[in-house]
Structure 1
Amino acid sequence: MTKANLNIILNDIRFWIILFGILRLYGITNPPLEVAHNWRQTTVCMAARNFYEADLNIFYPRIDIAGEKSGITGMEFPIFNYLIYVFSLVFGYDHWYGRLINLLISSIGILFFYKLLLKYFEKNVAFNASIILLASFWFAYSRKIMPDTFASSLIIISLYYGTNYLEGKKSILNLLLYFVFGLFGVLSKLPVVYIWILYSIWIFGGGNYIRKLIFIGVSSVIAGITYYWYYIWVPYLVDEFGFWHFFMGKNFNQGFNESIKYLPEILNHFYETAIRYVGFSMLLFGLIISIIKKDKIIWITFLISLLSFSLIIFKSGKTFAFHSYYVLPFIPIMALVASYGISKIKNSTLVKVLLFAICIEGILNQWNDFVIKPNEREIIRLESSLDSISNKDDLIVINSGEYPTPMYFAHRKGWVCDNSKLLDKKYISDLKNNGCKYIVILKKSFGSDTRLNYNILIDNEYYKVYDLK
């Protein structure tokens, strides 16, 4: 291979997307037991598995920690979960399909991120922004069984086609693709809708007013469907089936006050978590340079995006502060501004060093997410242990606090609680009256040992099972 051919490959963003994709295939079949947000992943898996085993109706997702109830509850529109179900129809159920689906869609999303930026910026800005996004917090979360980068990628794809339509390119096809990807993106994760604020640049600019009215009309349909799902259907499922699970945010006043109180934790997600210190330094540099050079497209894009995303922060409050993945939808904007800053550095060697530093800092700080600790893996044996003494439809209670993860690996339905409740005679009596037959005590991961006055059926280093019948 000649040096010229090598340069062509290295300057092709598809090479880097594939390379980062291959890196993230390491441990792709791992169970969702990494420390960061295993609970979030297992609730996704519960809904997917229940589509496969119980009811394929996408409008009635269900999870396994609702006790004696059906488990049907409101949540994000479960298109991501349903794709796992579709894979399962072909290959049989396995959780890791979710990792693969997310990785694939997120990789395509970054390709469209590059194509989108290429329309408005020089190639080096689009290229470097895509590299920064690949190595950002997206690196680990784009292979988790969670809809966050999945939805963000769909909304980026829709942004590409939406701007194509507003610019007059193949109008009907672009409008249709904007609608499809935009609808499923917003339905999959409501906070990604903040990015719609960028359309104001085109809406309030010059151009074809009929085209703008049509675009607003189509966007209104997306908004209407989304409103129906989140604010009519989700509350209906909760009321009808008696189980609340999905966080819908707080009232604005409470969320705002909590955001002020926990501002240091919130800011930490931006400067430490999102693109790490080197990347964030370049972001600040890019903002300063854009203001000095009066490059409005950069600082206005960042400012209106931040103002729009701030509404998500204020609606989430304390929850945003203590859930790092809430920052994921905003990272593409941060990557753009950081890349712009790097583009103003004329020394090509320094540019390469900075990009390398951003990648190394990002990857190394997330690599522990690719390895499951041995103690955590032991929970996988829980299902086979319970199979030896019980039936699949026997209800159980697990001392995992609010964590649903052990219930998913038990492949049972029932309740999760802390040890103190298991010492409450009334609580135990209510469990028995509602059909609970076994108590699972986790000794290390997700729980701690406690002694109960019931017959012990299984007892090992990691958990024990009491007979409650």
Structure 2
Amino acid sequence: MTIVEKLTAGPLPRWFWPLLLGLNFLLHAPFFRLPPAGIHVWRQCNTMAVARNFYDEGMNILEPRVDRRNTTNGITGMQFPSYEWLVAGSYHLLGFHESLPRLINWLIYMAGVLAFYQLVRRVSGADWLGAVGAWCLAWSPEMYYHGINALPDVLALTASVAGLLWFVRWRESRHSGLLLLSLLAVTLGGLTKLQFLVVGVPIAVFVVRDLLQGRLSWPALAGLAAYALVAVGVPLAWYAYAINLIKASGLADFGLEIRSATDVATALAIIKRNLVSDWPELLLGYGGLGLLLVGLWRLLRHAPTHHAWFLPGVAWAGALLAYYLIELHQMQAHTYYMLPLLPVLLLLGVWGAAWLRRFPRAHGLFLALLLVQPGWAFIRIGWNRWLKGGPAIAPELFNPATRAALEAVTPPAALCLVGPDDSGCEYFYFLHKKGFGFDRPEQLLEKRSAGQPYVAECVTRGARYLYSDDSTTLRDPRLQPYLAREVTRVGDFQVWELRAAPAQP
């Protein structure tokens, strides 16, 4: 009997979960204490700023606030701030620590791995295949990276998988509590990130099939109608409310619009990059991609058309394909927008694993595909993004001592002019300041609608201090009339008190 046969013949080995959870935690341990760092640091800063503003300014979940707020109160529209609110609650319990968002997201990430294990078990009927699915999800490089980042998509993925799992369990038992849990989870997933409502497509296929087969009573059908109304209606109502908040405040830090590819050539280039680079390197890892290719080959040759999950799975995949094409522009530089695809891709990979299990000569390949996953995730992410790649933020902001020094030199409530920062949030977050931002150095002196430079407009509206690490701009003679005195200089960063320019004689 081969190693693979021993591991898959009986119950799941007791060491599996301690190995998976322990190794995953160990390979993340050096990075839990990091502030926002790495690729997409702007997204982390925006998320953590909203969480900190809940903590500082009030826990009303209907009023998320950003830092680049001009003279407003900062309230604006965004995806439902479930993760941000949870993090803010942890700050109230334990104090403000930047490790908390990472630890919370890791726990959510592992909960998603456990939920996916249970889902795959029910789809496949085998514990060991559930373990393969859990292993591949845990070691997806994109999940390994964002599993400890302040990224709400991880919560949305976990909630959607759990919602589908609880729905499947409800179909088996008809316990109303499971349907309620499913409703809450699917709704939370859609609120947190609307694209995760796609998980409702396989649920709808199951419901239609059960209805045609006469398996649903009238009370059950009424409950399912209410389920659909709430699961879809509540997220749509939130996003309508969020769009109105953006219009009212004029603060468009969070994009809630559809972003498709601009033309066919661009679309094809994005698809090619995703398939050739993003999927093997980030979304799946090379081991997960290998299992997926085996599963796809089996699907094309012997489609399991009689399996209970075949039609729901095909419909789910079709809906995900539509989402992928509609949001194709976002797939160009945001691999995390492809996280809704992971469950379906990994289910196909699990089927590939089941086929490899049948052939002793393929067992070595099967083990190699699984064992390469954690190593590749750490090399591609832990080494490349956190260790070798650096924080992707100015050293004065990343270093705790210089960061604290820059924050302390101006009053907490003073409106500040901060930049140049094209993200509109990174400098604000690390400096713990609020007020006006500028994306480009030349923006400070650009004429506004009233005919005065942007810096003058900001001073008129209440900006008291300027934070900038662009020394060339700060030496510009045209800016000098607005600089009252230098407050401090830390590395490349200078802090100046602002003043209104004297009237021209």
Q: Same fold (TM over 0.5)?
A: yes
Where structure 1 has 5 or more consecutive residues not aligned to the other structure, the ranges are none
Q: Is the 8 A contact 1:255 1:317 kept in 2?
A: no
| Residues 248-299 of structure 1, C-alpha deviations (whole Å, 9 max, x = no match) | 2237796989645633344443343211334223212211112312223577
Structure 2 equivalent of residue 66 of structure 1: 69
- Asked whether 1:248 is paired with 2:220, we answer no
In 2, Cα distance between the equivalents of 1:403 and 1:264?
A: 31
Structure 2 equivalent of residue 313 of structure 1: 324
- Asked whether 1:277 is paired with 2:257, we answer no
Structure 2 equivalent of residue 399 of structure 1: 420
Q: Which moved more, 1:349-358 or 1:246-255?
A: 246-255
Structure 1 equivalent of residue 215 of structure 2: 208
| Residues 213-249 of structure 1, C-alpha deviations (whole Å, 9 max, x = no match) | 5223212212111111002x11221233232222122
Give me the TM-score of the superposition, normalised by structure 1.
0.89
Calculate percent identity across the aligned residue pairs: 21
Match of 2:373 among 358, 368, 380: 358
Q: Is the 8 A contact 1:158 1:182 kept in 2?
A: yes
1:13–1:255 distance in 2 versus 1, CA, 3 Å: farther
In 2, Cα distance between the equivalents of 1:256 and 1:162?
A: 39
Instruction: Give 3-state SS (helix, strand or coil) of 2:468's partner.
Output: strand
Structure 1 equivalent of residue 166 of structure 2: 161
In 2, Cα distance between the equivalents of 1:156 and 1:294?
A: 24
- Asked whether 1:236 is paired with 2:244, we answer yes
Match of 1:146 among 140, 143, 151: 151
Aligned-residue CA RMSD (Å): 2.8
- In the TM superposition, residue 355 of structure 1 has moved relative to its aligned partner by 0.7
| Residues 6-27 of structure 1, C-alpha deviations (whole Å, 9 max, x = no match) | 98333x3464134313432332
Instruction: Give 3-state SS (helix, strand or coil) of 1:19's partner.
Output: helix
In 2, Cα distance between the equivalents of 1:133 and 1:308?
A: 21
Opposite residue 123 of structure 1, the aligned amino acid is: D
Q: Which moved more, 1:260-269 or 1:360-369?
A: 260-269
- In the TM superposition, residue 311 of structure 1 has moved relative to its aligned partner by 3.0
Structure 1 equivalent of residue 486 of structure 2: 456
- Asked whether 1:180 is paired with 2:207, we answer no
Structure 1 equivalent of residue 59 of structure 2: 56
Opposite residue 292 of structure 2, the aligned amino acid is: L
Q: Is the 8 A contact 2:197 2:232 kept in 1?
A: no
- Asked whether 1:468 is paired with 2:504, we answer no
1:337–1:414 distance in 2 versus 1, CA, 3 Å: same
Higher Cα radius of gyration:
2
- Asked whether 1:432 is paired with 2:459, we answer yes
1:414–1:325 distance in 2 versus 1, CA, 3 Å: same
Instruction: Give 3-state SS (helix, strand or coil) of 2:103's partner.
Output: helix
Opposite residue 331 of structure 1, the aligned amino acid is: L
How does 1:1-16 map onto structure 2 within 5 Å? 8-10=13-15, 12-13=16-17, 15-16=19-20
1:188–1:99 distance in 2 versus 1, CA, 3 Å: same
Opposite residue 230 of structure 2, the aligned amino acid is: V
Q: Is the 8 A contact 1:126 1:336 kept in 2?
A: no
Where structure 2 has 5 or more consecutive residues not aligned to the other structure, the ranges are 1-5, 448-452, 500-505
Q: Is the 8 A contact 2:260 2:330 kept in 1?
A: no
Opposite residue 443 of structure 2, the aligned amino acid is: K
Q: Is the 8 A contact 1:402 1:416 kept in 2?
A: no
Structure 1 equivalent of residue 405 of structure 2: 385
Give me the TM-score of the superposition, normalised by structure 2.
0.83
